[in-house]
């Protein structure tokens, strides 16, 4: 559980390969002093992934549309995305919908196959349990987003939906801090228990806390030394690994 005070492009590649990389990079969309585009990190992150690894990146639809060529040039292929729905959002203009969501998109190496990427689809309790048993097509394989069982027996759970409700952090640690509960979902889904997570823009260390709680190893990188120190203290104060594995 380590936080490096450095530029991720310099420090992180040597600490791979990573089972999962998390990133909430600045896109240069605003005039804020810290919001400066970081060039070249995507290709380095792609190279630092295990063949079974993937990259989850936070951003807006506008940022992903603008960055699409860079993801492709870096050797990354889109897999899926989730919507983080916030209870309160921001209204930057009176002629726009109030923005109460943020996206996180998953990518994997374009030279690999999706079926080889670690993917433990999370399940949640079902609101209604079906008593029926239904037949499924036998030619479908599990990991390609398909169901292979000949029969379906309701176990009282359902695949988690792609819209996730989570409270926005109000700790004041970092202006773009992400909820630990949301990060736990991504980590459990895309990193095997005991695997290594690389947090390339660590900020306040929320992902490190989530790794600590889920039994994953963690290396984060934050370019602001003062923020890196606070993130390190935050992670050190979290209870030890949950050795129960994924759920």
pLDDT in tens, 170-194: 766 666 779 999 999 999 999 999 9
- SS3 percent helix, strand, coil of the chain, rounded to 5, is 25, 30, 45
Beta strands in the chain (DSSP E): 2-5, 18-23, 49-59, 76-90, 99-109, 123-125, 134-135, 151-152, 157-159, 163-165, 196-199, 217-222
Residue % of the chain over a pLDDT of 90:
64
Query: Which pTM value belongs to this model?
Result: 0.84
CATH 3.40.50.150 location in the chain: 2-122+160-236
CATH 3.40.50.300 describes domain 2-122+160-236: no
Predicted local distance difference test score (pLDDT) of residue 165: 93
Q: How confident is the model at residue 6 (pLDDT cuts 50, 70, 90)?
A: very high
> Which tokens is 189 given?
């889904």
Provide the total of helices (H) and of strands (E) in the chain, helices listed first: 6, 12
Q: How confident is the model at residue 133 (pLDDT cuts 50, 70, 90)?
A: low
pLDDT in tens, 101-122: 999 999 999 999 999 999 999 9
**CA distances (Å), origin 170, targets 82, 167, 175, 178, 228:** 22, 9, 9, 10, 19
Q: What is the mean pLDDT of the chain?
A: 86
């Amino acid at each position: 559980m380590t936080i490096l005070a450095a530029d991720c492009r310099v420090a992180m590649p040597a600490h791979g390969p990573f089972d999962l990389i998390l990133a909430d990079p600045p896109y240069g969309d605003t005039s804020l002093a810290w919001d400066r585009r970081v060039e070249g990190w995507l290709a380095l992150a792609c190279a630092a992934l295990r063949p079974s690894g993937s990259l989850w990146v936070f951003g807006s639809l506008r940022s992903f549309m603008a960055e699409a060529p860079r993801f492709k040039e870096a050797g990354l292929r889109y897999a899926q995305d989730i919507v983080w729905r916030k209870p309160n959002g921001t209204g930057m203009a009176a002629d726009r919908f109030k923005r109460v969501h943020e996206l996180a998109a998953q990518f994997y190496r374009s030279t690999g196959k999706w079926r080889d990427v670690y993917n433990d689809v999370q399940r949640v309790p079902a609101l209604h349990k079906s008593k029926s048993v239904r037949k499924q097509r036998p030619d479908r394989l599990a990991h390609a987003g398909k169901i292979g069982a000949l029969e379906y027996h309701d176990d009282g759970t359902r695949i988690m939906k792609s819209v996730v409700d989570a409270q926005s952090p109000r700790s004041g640690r970092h202006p773009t801090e992400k909820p630990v509960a949301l990060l736990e979902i991504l980590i459990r889904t895309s990193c095997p228990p005991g695997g290594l997570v690389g947090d390339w823009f660590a900020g306040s260390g929320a992902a490190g806390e989530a790794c600590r709680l889920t039994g994953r190893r963690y290396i984060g990188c934050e370019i602001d030394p003062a923020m890196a120190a606070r993130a390190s203290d935050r992670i050190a104060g979290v209870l030890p690994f949950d050795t129960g594995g994924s759920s």
